[in-house]
Amino acid sequence: MNSGDVRFDLYFTGQLADGVDRATAQTNLARLFRSTPEKMAGLFNGRPQRLKQGLSREEAQKYKVALTRAGLVVAFKSLAAAAADTPAEARPMPASAADWSLAPPGSDLLHADERPRSKPMEVDISGLSLSSPFLAPEPSARPAPAVPDTSRLSVAALGADLTDRPAAPPVSVPDTSALTLAPAGSDLEPLKTEATPVSPDISGLSLAPAGSAVMPEGARRPTPPPAPDTSHLQLSDEG
């Protein structure tokens, strides 16, 4: 029998996909079959229900994708080409869910002889190569550095000055044997000379009366003119 003559019946197993509730799946199924959720309610009784019959391989794959997206867990039953022409009411229907089993998620529901075969692709990889850090050449060994000669070194005493500074010259102490201290409160400026007080002769001077002009006439400021009489003037509101 030619694998292209194989037909499939589509069944809803009565189970829903993980995370999908009944109301959502019922609405999605009604939208898919252009019906109403109320008319689809009878399919959600927990028992397998046949949704489509006599599907080709391509049609079965399309329904599988669409119903899985709707949240339904579906299964297919393959029929011979002759059985595909049998009236739908005469085809055997599972009596109960005990005749069915669920394949693991991602399983291929088609038999080996029903799967489309594709020619394996041959890729030329002769120009490719793999590199590995384990294949890299080992680094050349380097000679160990020479140990420095520390025989001329010594450890200074704790707190020693490690700077190489010249010695400071000795401080000369001045001779203070000829110096004495004056008693407390003594005047330390004995060379200050006394100034003779000056008593000027003011017998020829006299005080001018109050208000007198004590400056020469040419050095005096001119007397300012008197302020003009403005008693007869008044302001007008006219612009």
Tens of pLDDT, residues 119-153: 777 777 887 776 655 555 555 667 778 888 888 88
Do 17 and 71 meet the contact criterion of CB atoms below 8 Å apart? Answer: yes
Higher pLDDT, 167 or 139: 167
% of the chain at pLDDT higher than 90: 0
pLDDT value of residue 155 = 82
Alpha-carbon distance of 118 to 211, in angstroms, equals: 138
| Alpha-carbon span 79 to 94, nearest angstrom | 14
How many Å apart are CA 24 and CA 124, to the nearest integer? 50
pLDDT for 132: 59
pLDDT score recorded for residue 202:
84
